[in-house]
Structure 1
Amino acid sequence: MMIKKIAVLGAGTMGHGIAEAFAMYGYDVNLYDTDENKLKVALKEIEEEQETLVEANFIESQSVGLTLKRITLCTDLNQAVIDRDYVIEAVPEILELKQNLFKKLDEYCPSHTIIASNTSSLNLASMMEHISDKRKEQMIVNHWYNPGHLMPLVELSYFGNMSELLFKEVEQLYQSIKKQTVKVLKDIPGLIANRIQQGIAREVFSLIEMGVATPDDIDKALKFGPAFRYATTGQLEIADLGGLDIWCTVGDNLLKVMDHSQHANVMLKQKVASGKLGIKSGEGFYDYKQDEIAAIKKRFAENLIHQLKASQFYIDRSSIKDEEPSNKLNER
């Protein structure tokens, strides 16, 4: 089977970005949500994000209209998935909600359809508890990173329920839209990238709580220190380059005095309780003026686009088996 038709369920932050990513590379995408207004907002967001890519000279202007035309908005679940080869759910992280959705998908989708979940916190076995044994062999976790149309990473589960042949087909699908896939061999909460990120976040929040430095300086230490290397080099490579003996010594000295809490930081919980949620509320660790928020989000996207351009991921195409012309975005 060759995957050609995609459905994305949920038109929120992740869902619209996932739909956008596939549509950019020529795939026919149905974007489903129960809220028709949410779908219209999502399509507008996709158009704005595409225009940002044009401004950054990442895509040609004529690509925007082509991408939008490939996305069909749906409020009927059955119609959204009835002829799809690959269906991705990006609905809220509520186990019962996902279980009920997968049960319906098992009934509505063609027998060959592969069903994927964008979860990073729920157990795959639990989510597919109420579906047929045959369909269980065609289910996978595919965890995207936000924003989906820019971040190269997609984590794919390989937990023993799916054949290697079918897994390879999913892997090739993501390679065709220039994603870097990571094969996750064990069903653990958070998969890989989120666990690494939470380890960093735990210490960052702790440093703020201790008053070691201002938020700006702590972010600067990360951006121009570890994160500067992490943009091109993995932690295990960095350890090898620095010397495992050095990393062992520093670990013995530092880890015992670092944060080892098993719950979200108390200061973080206090901010949430007081409604200080970050950019969405106008205040978090920084203050955000309402009339500046759009520009801040756009600058964030532009920075990611610059990284994407410079990334080895776009220079080294050896992972893509079927080489295609460089103007692939415009040809499909």
Structure 2
Amino acid sequence: MINKIAVLGAGTMGHSIAENFALYGFNVNLYDANKERIGSVENDIRADLVLLAEEGFIEADIIEKTLANLHYYSDLEEAVYDRDFITEAIPEIMELKQQTFKQLDEICPSYTIFASNTSSLPLSDMWKLVSEKRRERMMITHYYNPAHIMPIVELSHFGNMPEVIYQEIEELFKSIDKQYVKVNKDVPGLVANRIQQGVAREVFSLIEQGIADPEDIDKALMFGPAFRYATSGQLEVADMGGLDIWCTVGDNLLAVMDNRKEANPLLKENVLQGKLGAKSGEGFYKYDPETLTQKRNNFNKRLIHQLKASKFYMK
């Protein structure tokens, strides 16, 4: 039974994943090699929890209980030596992940399950330096940002893991109210990111062609397709509309839509100019440093409201 958890990496995803498990009562060790980051991360987690309480998603007295479940380390061995389940959320560098898993394999008990939050790197490459036996206890568990709010987690089901262990992982994520997606093949992007990139490719193309302004393109998605997607998947939407209609529209539109196989040139130009979005102060929109924290909070508030509303539809 999984009780003790470790999360490697205290950045955007890692601290949020650790917070999510701690919120549901798990004993969680959070590791980061950066001592300055590991010394400040509790402030970020506390701020996340305060926002959840302000929005009525948790009771205020849960905040201190959650924080008490979290323990912070800059020494890897101390953080992982007795853990049942470890997930890494370190940078997407294959050599770094391979070396990390090699270290974990040498330190951890034989029963420890290793997971990666990657959606772009193959599991079969990440495990190259670990023992054959450990590979039966390795998988991908891919979250969406912010992990403590977004209900999805994608679970690899690639044939390396005995079914009884995989079922234990499903039960783990059920216990923290996640909607898990079983992914049967190791493909780049898994499921959710491939869908998202398909939408993003056309959105960036519409901007590039000057067909509509950013505000109107976002509005078209929010109050059009995404309005339905909040409660229905694409396949159900297609069934409800009629597959003959979807077939006809596909024949008419797909030939004139963006089909490039790399990032949009407009996106690349923005990156070259240092326009990276909220973190740099400008992307498709501009962000005032004085109001950025409030804008981030408002973004998360909308997700919290959606999470609360979606409880009705979750199975």
TM range (shorter): over 0.9
Task: Say whether residues 1:3 and 2:9 are aligned partners.
Answer: no
Question: Deviations for 1:89-112, whole angstroms, at most 9, x for unmatched residues?
Answer: 000000000000000000111110
Partner of 2:182: 183
Q: Deviations over 1:97-130 (max 9, x none)?
A: 0000000000111110000000000010000011
Give yes or no for the alignment of 1:273 onto 2:272.
yes
- Return the offset for 1:220: 0.2
Residue 244 (structure 1) aligned with residue 243 (structure 2):
yes
C-alpha distance in 2, partners of 1:131/1:34? 21
Aligned to 1:284: 283
The answer to which structure, 1 or 2, has the higher relative contact order (CA under 8 A, 6+ apart) is 1
Separation in 2 of the partners of 1:21 and 1:206?
36
Give 1:40 deviation, angstroms.
2.6
Offset of 1:36 from its aligned partner? Answer: 1.6
1:9-88 equivalences under 5 Å are 9-88=8-87
> Which residue matches 1:169?
168
Look up the SS of the partner of 1:66 in the other structure.
helix
Distance (whole Å) between structure 2 residues aligned to residue 63 and residue 40 of structure 1 = 22
2:45 partner amino acid: I
- For this pair of structures, how many residues does the alignment match? 315
Q: Which runs of 5+ in 2 are unaligned?
A: none
| 2:158 equivalent in structure 1 | 159
Q: CA deviation at 1:212?
A: 0.4
In 2, the alpha carbon distance for the partners of 1:315 and 1:81 equals 37
Residue 248 of structure 1 deviates from its aligned partner by 0.2
Deviation at 1:41, TM superposition (A): 2.6
Find the counterpart in structure 2 of residue 144 from structure 1.
143
| TM-score normalised over the length of structure 2 | 0.99
Matches within 5 A, 1:208-287: 208-287=207-286
Maintained 8 Å contact 2:231/2:313: no
1 CA distance for matches of 2:6 and 2:37?
16
In 2, the alpha carbon distance for the partners of 1:33 and 1:179 equals: 25
1:328: which partner in 2? none
- 1:125-144 maps to which residues of 2 (within 5 A)? 125-144=124-143
2:312 is aligned to 315
**Alpha-carbon distance, 1:316 to partner:** 6.0
Distance 2:302 2:40 in 1: 24
In the alignment, which residue of structure 1 is the partner of 2:203?
204
Deviations 1:215-236 (A, max 9, x none): 0000000000000000000000
Structure 2: how far apart are the matches of 1:40 and 1:283? 29
Cross-structure match for 1:323? none
Report the alpha carbon displacement of residue 39 of structure 1 after superposing the two structures with TM: 1.5
Cα offset for 1:162?
A: 0.1
The structure 1 segments of at least 4 consecutive aligned residues displaced by more than 4 Å after TM superposition are: none
Query: Aligned equivalents of 2:313 and 2:84: distance in 1?
Result: 29
State how far apart, in whole Å, the 1-side matches of 2:96 and 2:181 are. 26
Displacement, 1:43? 1.2
Secondary structure in structure 1 of the residue aligned to 2:308: helix
Aligned-residue RMSD, C-alpha:
0.8
Q: 2-side partners of 1:179 and 1:150: how far apart? A: 10
Percent identity over the alignment? 60
TM-score (norm 1): 0.94
SS in 1 for 2:278: coil
Q: Render the CA deviation track for 1:274-310: whole Å, top value 9, x for unaligned.
A: 0010101101100110001000000011111111111
SS of alignment partner, residue 112 of structure 1? coil
- Alignment correspondent of 1:302: 301
Q: Find the counterpart in structure 2 of residue 114 from structure 1.
A: 113
Contact 2:86 2:112 in 1 (8 A): yes
Question: In the alignment, what sits opposite 1:330?
Answer: none
| Partners of 2:13 and 2:147 within 8 A in 1 | yes
